[in-house]
Structure 1
Amino acid sequence: MNQPLTVTLRILDKEYQVACPPEERYNLEEAARHLDNTMRDIRNRGKVVGLERIAVMAALNISHEMLSGNLQKGRLMSDQQQQITELTNRLDQALARHQE
């Protein structure tokens, strides 16, 4: 198993040292970039003051994005499952007619 490495992440002009497995480095850096961008957007809107409040608002926004995405993914999977069921029924009917 690979040894964890320490990655330096820069989020809202502060550096954080985070240990992670080498194969997860890219995902960690992408997550940090997303968090940094979200926090900068919130800060630049000027309605939220203070690093802690900006971080909480960013966490809420990202959580909402994730949950909304999961709901949408669930709906798409349900729609796809329904289409597969309908296609299976059509195939069964066509095979039944062919066997007659």
Structure 2
Amino acid sequence: MSSSEPVALRLIDREFLIACAPEERDGLLEAAGFLDRKMRELRANAKAPSFERLAVLTAISVTHEFLTLRKQHDAQEQRLSDGLATLRSKLDAALESDPLKR
């Protein structure tokens, strides 16, 4: 079992120390970089929001993007599943009508 180590993350010129397992460090840094870019993007389009308001706006924006992508993924997965079921039915029908099978 690995122990947690503090990692320094910067979001809009503020530093946060967050404990994480060494194997999660790169992912956490990548997530913080993504979040920082989103916060800066929203800050550029807002009227001097506080850090807290900017964090909430960014959380809502990122969550909306995530849910949209998840719905798209679920729809694609359902289409794939339906397509495989149709293919399986056609294959079963072809095998049942195979004259060599009789």
- Same fold by TM-score greater than 0.5: yes
Correspondence for 1:44 = 44
Task: Note the alpha carbon deviations across 1:52-96, whole angstroms, 9 max, x for none.
Answer: 111110000011111111111110110000010011011101101
TM-score, length basis structure 1: 0.93
2: CA distance between counterparts of 1:37 and 1:19? 22
Correspondence for 2:57 = 57
Q: How does 1:52-91 map to 2 (within 5 A)?
A: 52-91=52-91
**Superposition misfits of 4+ residues, deviation over 2 angstroms:** none
2: CA distance between counterparts of 1:48 and 1:57? 13
Provide closer, same or farther for how the CA distance between residues 93 and 47 of structure 1 changes in structure 2, counting only shifts above 3 A: farther
Where does structure 1 lack aligned partners over 5 or more consecutive residues?
none
Correspondence for 2:7 = 7
TM-score, length basis structure 2: 0.92
Provide closer, same or farther for how the CA distance between residues 89 and 28 of structure 1 changes in structure 2, counting only shifts above 3 A: same
3-state DSSP of counterpart to 2:7: strand
Where does structure 2 lack aligned partners over 5 or more consecutive residues?
none
2:42 counterpart letter in structure 1: I
Aligned length: 100
Q: State the Cα RMSD in Å.
A: 1.2
2: CA distance between counterparts of 1:70 and 1:48? 32
